[in-house]
Amino acid sequence: MATPTPLQLPISKEKLDEINTHLRTLAPEDILKWAIENMPSLYQTTAFGLTGLVAIDMLAKITTSPPPLIFLDTLYHFRETYELVEEVKKRYNTPIHVYVPEGCDEVKAFEAKHGEKLWETDEDTYDFVVKVEPAQRAYAELGVKAVITGRRASQGGDRASLQPLEIDSTGLLKLNPLFQWNFHLVEWYIKENNVPRNKLLDQGYRSVGDWHSTVKVGEGQDERAGRWAGKEKSECGLHKDYFAMKAQAKVAVGTVDFGPEERNFPPLPVIHARAIELQVFTHRSYFARPTHIFEDHPDDPSPDNEKFEHLGDAVLGLSVTSLLMQMYPGLRVGPSTKIRALIVGNATLAEISLKYKLPDRLRLHPAQAITLRASTHVQADVLESFIGGLYHERGLEAVRGWLDPLFTPYATAAYRLVRTQHGLPALPTPSSSPRLSSPPATPHALTPMTTIGHLALFNQHLQKGDRQVEWIYSDSPDHDDGKGGVTEVKGTKTTPVWFVRVLVDGEFYGRGRGNTKKAARNEAAKLGLEKMGIFV
């Protein structure tokens, strides 16, 4: 028999693809045999769900020394789950390492430290302190380099495209031996082999987690429909894309240049309205309002920054998309989407947020302040909240005036990275960093490259009010008699200039000019919107 040869870490994406091509042809038992022979410092993480129990049983039949188990005890499991843990101990005699939230051996201590119902007031922090941090601690203390999981593609959500072997954001190897099995196959194995199972499965449950976030599943529902019911959430934070995170981190760290001592790093704009500023920096943990309600009472709107964060996310996406169109006008939508995702990823936003010291200004629940301020997610969120607050007070022009120079270096770094990923040669590094890679300006490039959305928004408001609009083109910006017809004015031999006035129900609303008729109308529409009291 050949001597097993553990995998050499780190594993390249090409090597990972090669391994997965092989593992996809194997049965679960053979995948587990491969893991025992090839995966270094191997453990099995389990919450004692059905898939994990199948793997435990298979391993017991494959080897007399199965990988030790790691159980993350959130302190909020069902009583039946704790009973199952004891039953598995007796049946398989496999070592089980139990990890609880740091400094908390019981619910009372946990709630004294983090507050009551943390899963409602801040579910991201809850996931971190009960799952992510204990897992990181376990892996560090035990020297874990690879784990066996109970995830399957048929569980849907983020798991739908699951591969047999994956790598998480820290470089940890994750083996999913039953990735191709569905619930019925798992259930069949459990019954055929008399494997211990959670008693709750006989009461209408199919996937069992914490008691506060697990409900019974209805007829025909997905097996994980009972987990975090009514929320978009489908994972607890332990499973992320390693290569995407690496790419995001590469854009965020060490590849952007704001000059000596970062002298070109744009200053933070000022939000003048005290009420807006206060809300921008109020985390939802500060007031600890429940998150499951549909709508606030009109007289008592939520005072935290979630709405500004939601708004800021949209404004940031619009701004970065527009910036990419300016910088790389020939870029296709697919690569542009990848580049934008890298630019607005949490790693980048958190780095920027820390440079502006935004997390230091957050109002937080005192018991959670240290954990939250250290969270990349929270650091990124407060930047989005600030963007939303600034847009709410001063409009898109003020936001773009700040964000364009801020994100240009990040856009350049992301563009170079994605270009390389597409197999194209890397661009030479310029001796001096141009601010934008747009085409050179002509003497008559009269209309700034702003979003053309003013025109669409203007037309939308006119249609709602059933109002009549008339566009009148002329040979100069001061031609106001309305009878000039359509006149093309030559700026150069190749660049025409168009002037236009817009009348609404016969009343003058604005004028514009541009190198195309549409650009001219867009400029006039912006003024028309302002006359209607709409500032964008």
Q: Which residues are catalytic?
A: 236
Tell me the two tokens of residue 328.
């790389």
Tell me the two tokens of residue 400.
């773009």
Cα angle 307, 120, 302 (rounded to 5 degrees) comes to 30
- Residue 21 CA to residue 428 CA, distance in Å, equals 36
Task: Return the DSSP state at 214.
Answer: B
**Residues whose CB is less than 8 angstroms from the CB of residue 185 and which lie 6 or more positions away in sequence, other chains included:** none
Tell me the two tokens of residue 405.
């120079």
- Answer yes or no: are the C-beta atoms of 248 and 345 closer than 8 Å: yes
| Dihedral sign computed on CA atoms, order 169, 113, 208, 194 | positive
- Residue 255 CA to residue 81 CA, distance in Å, equals 47
Within 395-433, residue ranges assigned H as helices are: 396-421
- Answer yes or no: are the C-beta atoms of 53 and 197 closer than 8 Å: yes
Establish how many alpha carbons lie within 13 A of residue 314's alpha carbon, considering only the half-sphere containing its beta carbon: 10
- For residue 76, the surrounding DSSP H or E stretch is none
- Residue 294 CA to residue 304 CA, distance in Å, equals 16
Nearest to 419, CA basis, from 302, 290, 251: 251
- Residue 498 CA to residue 502 CA, distance in Å, equals 13
- Residue 480 CA to residue 485 CA, distance in Å, equals 11
Instruction: Name beta bridge partners: 501.
Output: 472, 511
Q: Are strands 173-175 and 165-167 parallel, antiparallel or unpaired?
A: antiparallel
**Residues whose CB is less than 8 angstroms from the CB of residue 396 and which lie 6 or more positions away in sequence, other chains included:** 315, 318, 319, 451, 536
Query: Around Cβ 255, how many Cβ atoms within 10 Å?
Result: 15
CA distance to 379, 443, 503, 508, per residue, from 446 (Å): 39, 8, 22, 22
Q: Is 40 helix (H, G, I), strand (E, B) or coil?
A: coil
